């Protein structure tokens, strides 16, 4: 079945409700039945809804493809204009503006409502009238409350939101799960495989915010030869295949791969889809989540374009706090389980994600707004519990010990005038000789395997002073504590890594400036005791409490602590030189940045849910440091073993005074001294 026909039956079933809802909303423009203070808000929402109605008509009548590039550009601009750039300052989706205009009490919830309603734009482009209609009906219900000025309370409005989210949780969660596991339900795949990718009008068919990044990326890829683009796709899909081979996992048992990528790379993705088909895999490509129910804070997980406003994304990262309680947590888990159960056959043959990342956007340091929704302590605890339960269901249905992944990254045009040269350098970095790196990295591993612990000291303004305890080997002729990481799942090549022993891992990790998970951190500090974060802060704000909250919310995901899940030494000096040559070190994605110095991950180990799968380095030795004291809890209480996060924090070479291996007898082996590799065997 073609994607465009997938929802025909649902659309016809709901059509009468859709038309009645639109008729009622159109009448609001002619009414003045709400208070004067509220009137501009409802006018703004209705204006947006009517633009979406126009999109529904064009999609159903297949008129989008008859529009010129300029007409499509104008339509796209109109749909995102209210939240783009400085327009966001006077948008009712901005909680600060909404609270200022509507009062603190109603400002938050109405700002949330408008933000949730923006998701109907996605449903319009994807021809999904059911989800679109239920959101229209929610809007009408809340409008009706404000018409009855003397007969409603704030609790009535909040209850309407709560009931909607609870009643339709299963629908919204199931739709998200289907996009992950059902190749037929992949809207993006249909566009990629059936459009003329030389005609960049196709970019506007996704319904995402289209900027110069997407347009120039698509045009640049179109300027490359077919051989060059195929080579990019081959590097990407071969890394995925090798992940199964090196992990000793059976790819032949799998049938579905999930591609996650930034819009503009369709030409490369086109060939990747064909490559995956040759490997026996059908592709799903799901959109980054729009709903509070499905979002993971401000992160874009799935296909997406350049955000119209990162502050908008950040302001609404905890919108779920308006309705998240114990009952809703249970409802969410029931919905997730039901969604997996409905597609359990597909889930059992899911192979894992294949991810394309981008870098080069302007660094973003968010404003911490008091008007934005925050999670209280009870909700923080509940959301952590919910994430853990979802994680267990994912393990049960997707059989995470059998899946693999790959990640590769490329620059965006926004990186500046050297874009094409940086792109070429990135391709070079992504295709370095794995065999040469394997030999060099083996020299480092041979030294590390002699150690009791490693000491890492920062240089200059970097105040890092860490002691990382290493896994004791029973038989050094057959075992190793570090994985020799070549370019398979984790492109580019260039690191050796381990799961540190927590007891005995102590000290301070400090980075003067770093960009993590789309957010800038200044003077980031984490203090470890026996491998656990016992204190943390940053220098983003003048207020110490704000700094601690910023780290807790965005790096610890509202947990009280995280363990050190990984210690690694990056070896990709080619990437490091590229970063310095073009002055883009702060803009490199973690994927590349982690290869340009030592790094430390907080959260789960690299072997999450695959700890019992034996792994061997190219020299034949088994990598035995796959667990730590927390991941081992899976044997008694799996709910306490995982955190469902893993964030790498890298120290660039120029901020390193020393990385030294300490043997049990007190003798030492220097690996890096004053920013340079000094260990014999690492000269290259």
How big is the CA angle at 472 (ends 471 and 477), to the nearest 5 degrees?
115
Global pTM reads 0.91
Nearest alpha-carbon partner for 329 in 188, 337, 581: 337
pLDDT for 592-639, tens place per residue?
A: 888 889 999 999 999 888 888 888 998 999 999 999 999 999 889 888
Kindly state the DSSP code that residue 616 receives in the 8-state scheme. Answer: B
Q: Alpha-carbon distance 305 to 288, whole Å? A: 9
In SS3 terms, 281-329 reads as CEEECCECCCCCCCCCCCCCCCEECCCCCHHHHHHCCCHHHHCCCHHHH
pLDDT for 664-684, tens place per residue?
A: 999 999 999 999 999 999 998
Q: What percent of the chain has pLDDT over 90?
A: 82
Domain positions in the chain are 3-167, 179-408, 432-677
pLDDT for position 491: 86
Structure confidence at residue 384 as a pLDDT band (50, 70, 90)? confident
Structure confidence at residue 487 as a pLDDT band (50, 70, 90)? low
pLDDT at 149 over 70: no
Contacts of 136 (CB under 8 A, 6+ apart): 18, 21, 22, 25, 49, 120
Q: Alpha-carbon distance 657 to 611, whole Å? A: 33
pLDDT for position 583: 92
Kindly state the DSSP code that residue 262 receives in the 8-state scheme. Answer: B
Cis ω on the peptide bond leading into residue 557 (within 30° of 0)? no
pLDDT at 451 over 70: yes
pLDDT for position 614: 86
pLDDT at 88 over 70: yes
pLDDT at 444 over 70: yes
The helix/strand/coil state of 598 is strand
Q: Alpha-carbon distance 322 to 154, whole Å? A: 12
pLDDT for position 92: 98
pLDDT for position 32: 85
- Which of the residue ranges 72-76, 221-225, 612-616 would you say has the lowest mean pLDDT? 612-616
Q: Alpha-carbon distance 445 to 365, whole Å? A: 37
Q: Which residue has the tokens 């919830």?
A: 109
Q: Alpha-carbon distance 636 to 156, whole Å? A: 45
Mean pLDDT of the chain: 94
pLDDT for position 459: 96
pLDDT for 284-327, tens place per residue?
A: 999 999 999 999 888 899 999 999 999 999 999 999 999 999 99
pLDDT at 130 over 90: yes
Q: Cα-atom radius of gyration of the chain, to the nearest Å?
A: 26
């Amino acid at each position: 079945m073609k994607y465009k026909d997938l929802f025909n039956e649902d659309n016809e079933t709901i059509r009468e409700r859709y038309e009645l809802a639109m008729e009622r909303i159109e009448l609001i423009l002619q009414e003045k039945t709400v208070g004067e203070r509220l009137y501009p808000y409802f006018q703004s929402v209705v204006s947006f809804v009517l633009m979406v109605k126009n999109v529904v008509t064009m999609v159903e009548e297949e008129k989008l493809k008859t529009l010129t590039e300029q007409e499509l550009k104008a339509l796209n601009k109109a749909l995102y204009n209210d939240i783009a750039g400085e327009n966001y300052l006077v948008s009712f989706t901005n909680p600060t503006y909404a609270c200022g205009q509507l009062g603190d009490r109603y400002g938050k919830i109405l700002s949330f409502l408008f933000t949730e309603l923006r998701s109907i734009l996605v449903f319009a482009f994807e021809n999904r009238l059911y989800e679109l209609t239920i959101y229209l009906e929610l809007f009408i219900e809340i409008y009706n409350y404000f018409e009855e000025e003397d007969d409603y309370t704030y609790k009535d409005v909040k209850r309407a939101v709560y009931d909607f989210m609870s009643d339709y949780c299963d629908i919204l969660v199931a739709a998200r799960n289907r996009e992950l596991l059902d190749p037929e339900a992949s809207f993006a795949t249909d566009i990629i495989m059936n459009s003329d990718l030389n005609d960049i009008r196709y970019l506007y068919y996704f319904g995402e915010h289209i900027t110069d990044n997407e347009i120039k990326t698509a045009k640049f890829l179109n300027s490359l030869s077919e051989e060059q683009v195929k080579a990019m796709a081959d590097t990407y899909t071969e890394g995925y295949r090798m992940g199964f081979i090196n992990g000793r996992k059976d790819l032949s048992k799998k049938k579905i791969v999930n591609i996650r990528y930034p819009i503009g790379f369709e030409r490369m993705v086109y060939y990747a889809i064909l490559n995956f088909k040759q490997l026996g895999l059908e592709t799903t490509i799901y959109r980054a989540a729009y709903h509070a129910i499905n979002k993971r804070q401000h992160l874009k997980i799935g296909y997406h374009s350049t955000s119209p406003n990162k502050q908008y994304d950040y302001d609404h990262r905890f919108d779920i706090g308006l309705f998240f309680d114990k009952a809703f947590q249970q409802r969410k888990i029931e919905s997730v389980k039901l969604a997996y159960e409905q597609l359990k056959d597909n889930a059992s043959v899911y192979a894992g994600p294949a991810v394309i990342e981008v870098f080069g956007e302007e660094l973003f340091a968010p404003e911490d707004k008091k008007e934005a929704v925050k999670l209280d302590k009870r909700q923080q605890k509940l959301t952590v519990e919910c994430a853990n339960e979802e994680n267990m269901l994912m393990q049960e249905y997707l059989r995470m010990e059998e899946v693999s992944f790959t990640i590769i990254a490329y620059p965006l045009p926004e990186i500046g005038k050297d874009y094409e040269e940086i792109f070429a350098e990135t391709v070079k970095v992504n295709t370095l000789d794995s065999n040469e790196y394997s030999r060099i990295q083996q020299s480092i591993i041979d030294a590390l395997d002699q150690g009791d612990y490693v000491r890492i000291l920062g240089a200059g303004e970097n105040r890092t002073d860490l002691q990382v305890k290493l896994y004791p080997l029973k038989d050094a002729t057959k075992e190793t504590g570090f994985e020799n990481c070549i370019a398979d799942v984790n492109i580019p090549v260039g690191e050796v890594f381990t799961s540190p022993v927590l007891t005995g891992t102590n000290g301070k990790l400090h980075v003067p400036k770093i960009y993590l998970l789309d957010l800038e951190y200044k003077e980031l500090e984490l203090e470890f005791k026996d491998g656990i974060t016992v204190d943390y802060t940053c220098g983003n704000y003048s207020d110490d409490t704000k700094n601690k909250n910023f780290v807790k919310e965005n790096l610890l995901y509202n947990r009280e602590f995280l363990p050190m899940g990984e210690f690694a030494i990056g070896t990709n000096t080619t990437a490091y030189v590229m970063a310095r040559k073009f002055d883009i070190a702060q803009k490199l994605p973690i994927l590349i940045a982690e290869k340009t110095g030592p790094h430390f991950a907080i959260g789960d180990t690299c072997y999450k849910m695959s700890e019992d799968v034996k792994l061997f380095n190219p020299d034949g030795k088994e990598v035995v440091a796959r667990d730590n004291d927390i991941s081992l809890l899976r044997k008694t209480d799996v709910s306490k073993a995982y955190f469902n996060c893993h964030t790498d924090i890298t120290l660039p070479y120029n901020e390193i005074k020393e990385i030294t291996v300490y043997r049990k007898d007190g003798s030492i082996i220097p690996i890096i001294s004053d920013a340079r590799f000094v260990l014999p065997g690492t000269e290259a």
